[in-house]
Amino acid sequence: MGERQTTVSQADLVAGFRRLGLDAGLTAMAHSSLSAFGWVEGGAATVIQALLEVLGPGGTLVMPTLCQRDRELRFSTWDPARSPSDVGRITEVFRLWPGVMRSDHATHSVAALGPLAESITAGHSQAHGRPSPWGPAAFGHGSPWERLYQLNATYCFLGVNFRVNTMRHFVQSLLVEEILGRAPEARQAQLRQRLAGWLKPGVWPNWDDERMERRLAAMNLVRYADIGEARCAAIPARLLVRRTLAIIKAERAQWLDEPFLRWWRDAESAEP
């Protein structure tokens, strides 16, 4: 017989989420793994109910509802009302929750419930101006990811670690945008052409997210709480973005691969 799992109730979850720093009126973004908690009474719905209880009617709950299926066909098969979230059972149950709104982006949508749900999710497909391998709308100006940063949402990892940190893509886009913005306009088109795009190979900044978690935790920026068998973490979105960006910029050779470092050097050499 398998090892007996810890039984986790809604009350256990509520108490744990409060230890994590969640409270009434906050905006919280949650990555999650249902199985990591142990045996949750009532399943995914209980986790959602516990989060909503802690945030209260004045708080807003947000979850990623990313679609990673269909690969190169994702943009043509995408349907915001029907395409399932495939980043965990909790996110899919939440997507179908009464009153939940979902942003319109084929690869990096979010779902939200609460007073700020509409302002967070609206206009995702029209977001613009910031490069990413998933198009300018994914993490662009006016995207939900930018709004979570602006709102300083409490960014939570429930039974998962920073390896699933989707906000890091927002940081990547900010970094590339900043580097391009310093390069002479005459060189920007050529530099953009070398970047990775949808179904287009190219350079892009990537780093070890679990290592970054350890770094941020060592700076006492990450709050942890154990709930059942799950190790949970939380960090304010602005701290997550700003400190990650600062570390990468200050220690680029320690975090980034040579192809992107070469692109960065080329961008800097193009400066007047």
What would the pLDDT profile of 2-41 be if each residue is shown by its tens digit?
Answer: 566 899 999 999 999 999 999 999 999 999 999 999 999 9
Which of 211, 215, 213, 210 has the alpha carbon at shortest distance from 234?
213
Which of 61, 39, 37 has the alpha carbon at shortest distance from 226?
37
Please, are residues 85 and 67 in contact by the beta-carbon 8 Å criterion? Answer: yes
Give CA–CA dist 28/22, Å, rounded. 8
Question: Number of structural domains, the chain?
Answer: 1
Give CA–CA dist 167/139, Å, rounded. 9
Given this model, what pLDDT does residue 2 score? Answer: 54
Residue 28 maps to a domain: yes
Residue 170 maps to a domain: yes
Say whether pLDDT at 270 is over 60. no
User: CA 77, 170, 166, 253 torsion: positive or negative?
Assistant: positive
Give pLDDT tens digits for 119-168.
Answer: 999 999 999 999 999 999 999 999 999 999 999 999 999 999 999 999 99
Please, are residues 157 and 233 in contact by the beta-carbon 8 Å criterion? Answer: yes
Q: Which domain holds residue 97?
A: 7-175+207-246
Residue 187 maps to a domain: no
Given this model, what pLDDT does residue 68 score? Answer: 76
Residue 186 maps to a domain: no
Structure tokens at 141: 């100006």
Given this model, what pLDDT does residue 186 score? Answer: 87
Diameter of the chain measured on Cα atoms: 69
Say whether pLDDT at 224 is over 50. yes
Given this model, what pLDDT does residue 184 score? Answer: 87
Residue 155 maps to a domain: yes
Give pLDDT tens digits for 164-184.
Answer: 999 999 999 999 999 999 998
**What's this model's pTM, rounded to 2 decimal places?**
0.95
Residue 195 maps to a domain: no
Average pLDDT rounded to a whole number, residues 56-70: 92
Q: For residue 203, what are the β-bridge partners?
A: 195
> What percent of the chain is predicted at pLDDT more than 90?
90
Cα-based angle 207, 209, 210 (whole degrees, multiple of 5): 130
Say whether pLDDT at 1 is over 70. no
Average pLDDT rounded to a whole number, residues 251-268: 97
Please, are residues 211 and 247 in contact by the beta-carbon 8 Å criterion? Answer: no
Residue 256 maps to a domain: no
Average pLDDT rounded to a whole number, residues 87-109: 97
Which of 31, 61, 238, 60 has the alpha carbon at shortest distance from 150?
238
Beta-carbon contacts of residue 237 (< 8 Å; ≥ 6 apart): 29, 148, 149, 151, 152, 153, 154, 155, 167
Given this model, what pLDDT does residue 67 score? Answer: 87
Average pLDDT rounded to a whole number, residues 239-267: 98
Residue 200 maps to a domain: no
> What percent of the chain is predicted at pLDDT more than 70?
97
Q: Is 29 helix (H, G, I), strand (E, B) or coil?
A: strand
Structure tokens at 158: 């429930």
Give CA–CA dist 110/105, Å, rounded. 8
Type of residue at 121? T
User: CA 145, 147, 152, 155 torsion: positive or negative?
Assistant: negative
Average pLDDT rounded to a whole number, residues 57-70: 92
Say whether pLDDT at 188 is over 90. yes
* Least confidently predicted of 45-54, 69-78, 223-232, 242-251: 69-78
